[in-house]
Amino acid sequence: MIEFNNVSHYFSSKNVELQVLDNLSFSVPKNGFSAIVGPSGCGKSTVTKLIAGLMKPRKGSIILNGEAVQSPRSNIGMAFQNPVLLEWRNILKNVMLPLEIVHNKLSNEEKVERARELLALVGLSEYENSQPSELSGGMRQRASLCRSLIHRPEVLILDEPFGALDAFTREDLWLTMNRLREKESFTCLIITHDIRESIFLADEVVVLSGRPATNQFSIKTEKESNDNLDQLYTPHASELLNILREQIGIARRKEMADK
């Protein structure tokens, strides 16, 4: 579903070019869930913007469901660390917002039904008439996930959506994310700094090098179950975490050496 083919990207400022990606390649299969981890500032968020068509790569190509990405795509849903809910709209209308932007043939009744279906999946049915300021941070992030899925996107991009939450709320949302994955059909890519999060949610974890980011390492998580947190405390999970910590440490040391 997602193909990143030898992508390099630069940002220009005052006649100086800052390279953030260097011949980066990876792929995510249809209905797969991949995570990208790496040192802070290595270019992870740039990857999401390129996939979404918000920027064009200087070199290489990005293929989405067999088509080159040249501009923003309506078949992509996105959620970020900040839920960015509109205070003048209640939660139900916040969730429905993409249906006012993305072309669809749904009646208003069908749009409301779809929004309520998603809110029920994340446990927010009782709060559809609440304003964003009346909800906790975790509840607002649940609403943001619903909004990103309301138009049934083929691809869901998550850019550190749980990074600002406390540990308990974050783990609860990991379980919520897996419930959404069971009920909804989408291919997902998550950017995260939390390697526990990466091995719990993703089928594959891609480690990027320090900036300019390129492929350093990838590992399959091979989970038996997604419905509880116990798998994070198995010997297999400990082995995965140690491997990822080592690889991220290597990436950081390489980046410092280059500087």
> What CATH number is attached to the domain comprising 128?
3.40.50.300
**In terms of C-beta density within 10 A (0-12 exposed, 13-18 middle, 19 or more buried), how is residue 147 classed?**
buried
Q: Is residue 87 part of a domain?
A: yes
R_g (Cα) of the chain, nearest Å: 19
**155 inside domain:** yes
For 182, residues 6+ apart whose C-beta sits below 8 A from its C-beta are 226
Integer angstrom CA distances of residue 76 from 14, 16, 64, 126, 230: 33, 32, 10, 28, 32
Q: 83 lies in which domain range?
A: 27-54+69-258
Domain assignment present for residue 98? The answer is yes
The separation between the first and the last C-alpha atoms of the chain, rounded to the nearest angstrom, is 36
* One pLDDT digit (tens) per residue for the chain, 259 residues: 899 999 999 888 777 888 899 999 999 999 999 999 988 777 888 999 999 988 899 999 999 998 999 888 888 999 988 899 999 999 999 999 999 988 888 899 999 999 999 999 999 999 999 999 999 999 999 999 999 999 999 999 999 988 888 888 899 999 999 989 888 899 999 999 899 999 999 999 999 988 888 888 899 988 766 678 888 888 999 999 999 999 988 877 766 666 6
**CA–CA dist 109, 150 (Å, integer):** 14
pLDDT at site 196:
93
Residue 83 falls inside a structural domain:
yes
Task: Evaluate whether residue 9 is within a structural domain.
Answer: no
- How many distinct structural domains can be found in the chain? 1
In a domain, 5, yes or no: no
183 backbone dihedrals φ, ψ, rounded to 5°: -95, -30
Is 2 among the domain residues? no
How far is it, in rounded angstroms, from Cα 176 to Cα 166?
A: 15
Residue 10 lies in a domain: no
Q: What pLDDT is attached to residue 225?
A: 64
Residue (of 237, 221, 202, 178) closest to 34 by Cα position:
202
The one-letter amino acid at 40: S
